[in-house]
Amino acid sequence: MRVTVLVSGGGSNLQALIDAQSSGELGTAEITAVIASKPGVYALERAAKYGIPAHTVCRKDFAHSAEWEAALLAAINETQPELIVLAGYLSILGDGVVRRYAGRIINIHPALIPSFCGKGMYGLRPHIAALERGVKVTGATVHYVNEIPDGGEIIAQKAVAVLPEDTPETLQQRVMEEAEWLILPQAVRQFAINN
């Protein structure tokens, strides 16, 4: 099961997938390519360290979003994925990619959808919003990607306690450790079993 992982930043979720693959927890899934949304991100160093072929398709290199979408679709096609994993990928995929790989793209979101999700809710922002709202429980969600940001079918969720002393950063770290890094590899393994 060829898996292409899309990343934008530190790549700790990519690392969780790599570690799961190393320990046999990904089943027949294999990370065969990484595509980054910008150059210089640490996720690319992680890919290089493990010899995973990596490409960068940066929105800023294109005058129009249609050109960027076409280039991203071409880059993805070249990697011949059977599953695409958005692991901290912070751009919204164009309709062309979503249609071409319908039912074969999954995303990890750092909140319990339908809370703190949708356009603009990425990275630290869901955690800032959770603290502002005063929720006592948050978590992470793995879901299929469709044309609605964070709107696709939910695959897995895991709850994480919010502590009184939490900052957005401490909450983000705990949600990663206690939820994201567990449910994303599990979802990839399950997808490989089902497909």
By the rule CB under 6 A, 9 interacts with ligand GAR = yes
Phi (first) and psi of residue 97, to 5 degrees: -65, -45
Provide the minimum distance between the beta carbon of 63 and ligand GAR in the complex, in angstroms, as a whole number.
25
Residues 95-114 that bind ligand GAR (CB under 6 A): 108-110
Work out which of 3, 47, 85, 87 binds ligand GAR, going by CB under 6 A. Answer: 87
- Answer yes or no whether residue 54 interacts with ligand GAR by CB under 6 A: no
Active site (annotated) includes residue 109 = yes
Q: Among residues 23, 81, 24, which one has the least CA distance to residue 52? A: 81
Which residue lies nearest ligand GAR, judged by its C-beta? 88
**Residue 107 in tokens:** 């995303």
Task: Encode 125-145: b = buried (16+ Cβ within 10 Å), e = exposed.
Answer: ebbbbbbeeeeeebbbbbbbb
Q: Which residue, chain included where needed, has tokens 């929720």?
A: 135
Binding to ligand GAR by residue 139, rule CB under 6 A? no
How crowded is the C-beta side of 108, counted as CA atoms within 13 Å? 32
Q: How many residues bind ligand GAR (CB under 6 A)?
A: 17
Interface residues with ligand GAR (CB under 6 A) are: 7, 9-13, 43, 87-88, 90, 108-110, 122-123, 176, 180
